[in-house]
Copies of this chain bind each other. A is one copy, B any other.
Amino acid sequence: MRITIIGSGNVATHLSAAFKNAGHRIAQVYSRSMHNAALLAYHVGAEAIDNPEDINADTDIFILAIKDDAIPEFLQHLSSFDKLVVHTSGAVDMQEILKLTDKAGVFYPLQTFSKTKEVNFWDVPLCIEGADETVTKTLEELARSISNNVYRVNSAQRKVLHLAAVFACNFTNHLYGIGEQLLAGRNMDFNMLRPLIAETADKIKEHSPADVQTGPAVRNDEFTMQAHLKMLEGKPGLQELYTLLSQDIIKNHNKPNGDK
């Protein structure tokens, strides 16, 4: 397919590279910054533009990989083309694009991308949604050309997916950070925790998290939990967090029916 990429951030960069590797043609890369547009366009053999008026019709699909709140405004620049338009956001409804065109869809990669870190795109879950079956089929085919994990997901499901990712990834990373801070307070290096963090993530590759829960809360070990809360004296935010998470674990693992 001929693909126009709107945006030059992490999602735009990784998506473009995957499309290029799969044999698609990246027609244009748009960014407000010509520097960024040129950098990405160079890597994928596309034309770089920084003026929306330079967008041309010589493409099959416009992929918007820009900030959520920039999406509605940008769509006006695509109103003269009768082409497929998708966004790549976890939180924005497909309705936003339907306001512009019936050929609307969503192409949401459920992964966290850094510009400096390679990702094997074949493993990235791609969540697609199309305004009708024709659009959905086209997006599905495009998605399957770059990933082995393609899912049909409607807008309501996608928002839940995004919320679940905030818990399982954004909040998780913050807990890593709390661990690092606690260690630093006693002159210990975060390296000491890294193997345990890696193993914790590794375990759930083949298990359900509930089946491999460990720690004082799931054992209902009051003594240790009280000792931990005492160690957190002077850090009311962390005490509250410790209590809330422990209570939630206890609640989840001591269901009224006696199930563990």
Chain A residues in the interface with B (C-beta under 8 A):
68-69, 91, 110-112, 114, 117, 119, 123-125, 127, 149, 151, 153, 156-157, 159-161, 163-180, 182-183, 185-188, 190-205, 208-210, 212-218, 221, 223-224, 227-228, 231-232, 237, 240-242, 244-245, 247-249, 251-252
Report yes or no: A193 in contact with B168, Cβ–Cβ below 8 A: yes
A-B contact pairs, 24 of them (CB 8 A): A110-B192, A110-B193, A110-B196, A117-B203, A125-B191, A151-B192, A157-B186, A160-B186, A167-B175, A167-B242, A169-B196, A169-B197, A172-B175, A172-B200, A173-B200, A173-B203, A173-B204, A174-B209, A174-B217, A177-B210, A178-B248, A241-B244, A241-B248, A244-B244
Residue A170 contacts which of B68, B204, B215, B252 (CB distance < 8 angstroms)? B215
Given A160-B182, A163-B228, A201-B197 contact (CB < 8 Å) = yes
Report yes or no: A245 in contact with B198, Cβ–Cβ below 8 A: no
Report yes or no: B210 in contact with A169, Cβ–Cβ below 8 A: no
Report yes or no: A112 in contact with B213, Cβ–Cβ below 8 A: no
- Chain B nearest Cβ from A108, distance in angstroms: 11
Q: How far is the CA of A112 from the CA of B237 in the complex (A)?
A: 26
Residue of B nearest to A225 (CB): B166
